[in-house]
Amino acid sequence: MSMFFGYSGQCLGLTIIIIVGIYLLYKSVQLNSRIFEGLTLKEKPKSAVSDIESKIKLVKRNLEIDENREDIEDVLTKLSEFLQYGQLHTLLQYAKGDMDNSETTKTGRKIEALERMETALRKSLDFLDKIS
């Protein structure tokens, strides 16, 4: 009798494992199909391109780049100068402070943020030159 119960117990355990495996496989396929559906285009690419082009025209019209080019350049240039002074101020504050490890980390993050802003400014100025 113990031989039969041991064998049937093994079969029952194997059956449960197979059912759980099939369920997990089903859920995985279901998740993959949802991800794939999200990646497909719901509209034609030409309509997406025309939609983007209309948004670009709207932004151009709102910025009035041709009429305000000098003002935009002045603002970006002054902002760049301000960021450079900000970097200098941050370094001088660090020199006056504790100069411990946590202070070094804070200073590094501030300078990194200022440098990212400076890079964005340069890209904006280059773009402004390119479109005019």
DSSP state of 39: H
What are the residue ranges spanned by the domains of the chain? 64-132
Question: What mean pLDDT is predicted for residues 46-74?
Answer: 82
Average pLDDT in the chain: 81
Which pLDDT tens digit goes with each residue over 65-96? 778 888 888 898 899 999 999 888 888 887 88
Over residues 12-41, mean pLDDT: 78
Q: Tell me what pLDDT residue 120 has.
A: 92
pTM confidence score: 0.52
- What is the share, in percent, of the chain residues with pLDDT greater than 70? 85
Please check whether residue 76 is in contact with residue 124, taking contact to mean a CB–CB distance below 8 angstroms: yes
Backbone angles phi, psi at 41, to 5 degrees: -80, 130
CB atoms near residue 13 (< 10 Å): 10
Q: What does the alpha-carbon distance between residue 128 and residue 66 come to, in Å, rounded to a whole number?
A: 10
Q: Which two tokens stand for residue 44?
A: 């034609």
CA 118 to chain centre: 19
How large is the average pLDDT for residues 34-39? Answer: 66
Q: Residue type at 97?
A: G
